[in-house]
Amino acid sequence: MLSALILLRHVAAESADRLTDAQSRRAWALADFLQLYNPTNLLSGPGSACAETLGPLAGRLGLQSTRSPDLACDAPKLTPAHAAVWLGARALRALPDPRRTTVVCAEGPVLAALLVAVAALDGHDLAHHAQEPADALAPGGGWVLHRDDGRLVDVKPLSVR
């Protein structure tokens, strides 16, 4: 059974209470593309920018977006490497069955840590993503992790214009 885990950074340039008109248009464009994956789960970090980014997709698919505190970008005071491990391990708890297609919208550092953690579960080394600067992931960017029977088989960057 093929599925995908889509890791998506919210469309806001920085955390905000409301998306701008341009950011809302970007969220709608992402919904146009992401609906093709037919996700069954939408997970959002606790911030409103994440929930609003997933709003158009949730509306199109008739799904609810679930906010998860496990997807917050609030690591304790640790070295950057230890913080990435902590964020990744905590974010893994939020994920549903890996055989279901899920979109996760969160902050860049959480997504990079989650990418590394999910890949490591299946024996892949993507640690270089956790070392990139926190702002390296553009708003609305991310990765699509393709899975076969829940196991990671391919990773592609997500870039919708």
Q: Give the model confidence (pLDDT) of 14-46 as tens digits.
A: 766 689 999 999 999 999 999 999 999 999 999
pLDDT score of 148 more than 90: yes
Domain locations in the chain as residue ranges: 2-138
| pTM (predicted TM-score) | 0.92
Indicate the fold that domain 2-138 takes in CATH: Rossmann fold (3.40.50)
b/e sequence 15-46, b meaning 16+ C-beta within 10 Å:
eeeebeeebbebbeebbeebeebebebbbbbb
Longest dimension (CA), the chain: 41
pLDDT digits 0-9 by tens, 97-124: 999 999 999 999 999 999 999 999 999 8
Which residue, among 88, 90, 85, 84, has the nearest Cα to 133 in the 3D structure?
Answer: 84
